[in-house]
Structure 1
């Protein structure tokens, strides 16, 4: 009979002081997740750690798998393991682009499960919408700082939840910003973003058209709807050498010509972009990928090498970031006695 291998039980023993592992699980609502008090600086540090771990290949994360009940939607199962943070779990999340119009519900909702590494039993079930809303802009602005640290102008396309958080986060990493431009098809969304963000920021926020923003900004990002059709709102002729473009909405918003002619096309996960390409989200095919975002942050791959390079860095979301942030939420919840324990 083979000998049972020894395990480091330090983390399990700590968690077991708070919950009866294998018999109960901690449940956290969205408001309880928010209530754990993670600051933007906390999220940035945790997300940077996850990205660098990914860049160094110190993780396990298969490409997203999903189902598609309606033509324009997807559900994704997103598992990941980041050893350095004892973070192991899976996010189950969906994207319904027309939820707001149809049901007055968010485009994105979902749950995240964390597991004990030593025994595999579930430890926590929590809302993942807030975590997703925070780690997504964190990835964008960390990439922006790595690729264009001296930028004085930033343009944000899409002024919903993600647009608001992108504007809130970008001032933490682009320290020389002098102006932020915003655009949304919905005028009220732009007004709402300014109302929420401007009192917190010293950098002026101004509205612009897609053409004005594309011709004015050194760094731009987009967080709009995710559909297979290329809307090409920003025309390629408006985009210049030396700019940095950071889509958070796949191939939807930009002229696909821009991504193909970029000097460097960088992605957060090659495997996940290839998966989306196979699903039809890149009708003209996936552009040639230079490297991954985490490799740039880890110093393994070069980012911008001269001021004239046009760089597109597409980040569609990786579960390594989700589980690392979720594990910190879980740790704080245990220490604060937050949430409720549910029997398994």
Structure 2
């Protein structure tokens, strides 16, 4: 699936400036965008980003509580003509306190020519799907031929990372999973083992998983003070590490000594550093993920390199996937038309 030019197919279906399409979470999930399609859409968006064909300010945020954030994430992709914004928040205590998801949000897609909003849709499913797509695209580019993968965090993101790793990394044979909640790791294996043609193993400890896998990823929590669950001494030459939780889960010394520290967005990492999320300093950045996928900057250049690839999520990927969801919804007559 390729990124579709916006106006040609939408203008005839929506009265720009008069109505918009609302898509609930169930609508979005039922549209039928596959993981393979999301990998293609995300790859195209990252390549556009790597070639500097985009406009996307670093995440604008507010923080009502110390462990809570709201992010406004606008982006524009001039090539396919897509513009929109995601408004998303994270409340880590929601599941325990209110039996609500940790993360919820909305995505708006606008008409580039007139500026009129075309659609408003739930963004939780979209976010859960495009986040692991970025991780495994980075992993496949930075560690081709990898046969072992380690996943820390076995919630929604952890499950999708495992599914996407099976899709994007064809040589994958074994995935080790670990969660502080052992029941979550057991549940991941019970759910995914029957559908995947690879071996899922519950790691005995964070150290055991780290020492067992060539490629490692984490999707846990984002905090200003690093937890350093994975100790620097456990990481060895040739490993590729792809955190989705910024500077929290891994010993900061690993990122500082890595042969390459690659990020999805330099501007966003510099913003988080200015907010105190890198108390030991932001590591020297070698390149951006999109630059590697676009062939603008090198990825792995030797088998012994330690590479850390930090991806915290970019709006260019959100609007690319959201645009595809909008087009699919129009084709299928899904969603609810609302007057402006």
TM range (shorter): over 0.9
Count of paired positions = 335
Counterparts of 1:69-218 in structure 2, within 5 Å, are 69-208=64-203, 209-218=205-214
Distance in 2, Cα, partners of 1:11 & 1:138: 23
Query: Does the CA contact (< 8 Å) of 1:76 and 1:93 recur in 2?
Result: yes
**Aligned residue number for residue 288 of structure 1:** 284
Query: Does the CA contact (< 8 Å) of 2:6 and 2:80 recur in 1?
Result: no
Stretch deviating more after TM superposition (93-102 or 58-67) = 93-102
Cα distance, 1:16 vs structure 2? 2.7
**Aligned residue number for residue 262 of structure 1:** 258
Counterparts of 1:9-24 in structure 2, within 5 Å, are 11-12=6-7, 14-24=9-19
Give SS of 1:294's match: helix
Query: Does the CA contact (< 8 Å) of 1:241 and 1:310 recur in 2?
Result: yes
Cα distance, 1:187 vs structure 2? 1.2
Assess, with a 3 A threshold, how the Cα gap between structure 1 residues 196 and 279 changes in structure 2: closer, same or farther. Answer: same
Counterparts of 1:213-228 in structure 2, within 5 Å, are 213-228=209-224
Query: Does the CA contact (< 8 Å) of 1:85 and 1:327 recur in 2?
Result: no
1:241 to 222, 232, 237: 237
TM-score (norm 2): 0.97
Deviations 1:5-46 (A, max 9, x none): xxxxx8535323212111111000011011110111000000
Deviations 1:41-86 (A, max 9, x none): 0000000000000000111111110100001111000000112332
Query: Does the CA contact (< 8 Å) of 2:151 and 2:216 recur in 1?
Result: yes
**Aligned residue number for residue 306 of structure 1:** 302
Give SS of 1:84's match: coil
Q: Which runs of 5+ in 1 are unaligned?
A: 1-9
Distance in 1, Cα, partners of 2:66 & 2:265: 24
TM-score (norm 1): 0.96
Aligned residues: CA RMSD: 1.0
Assess, with a 3 A threshold, how the Cα gap between structure 1 residues 11 and 237 changes in structure 2: closer, same or farther. Answer: closer
Q: Confirm whether residue 335 of structure 1 aligns to residue 325 of structure 2.
A: no
Distance in 2, Cα, partners of 1:186 & 1:135: 25
Displacement over 6 Å in runs of 4+:
none
Distance in 2, Cα, partners of 1:12 & 1:196: 40
Distance in 2, Cα, partners of 1:212 & 1:205: 14
Assess, with a 3 A threshold, how the Cα gap between structure 1 residues 176 and 11 changes in structure 2: closer, same or farther. Answer: closer
Deviations 1:273-326 (A, max 9, x none): 000111111111111100000000000000100000000000000000000000
Distance in 2, Cα, partners of 1:287 & 1:158: 24
Cα distance, 1:98 vs structure 2? 1.6
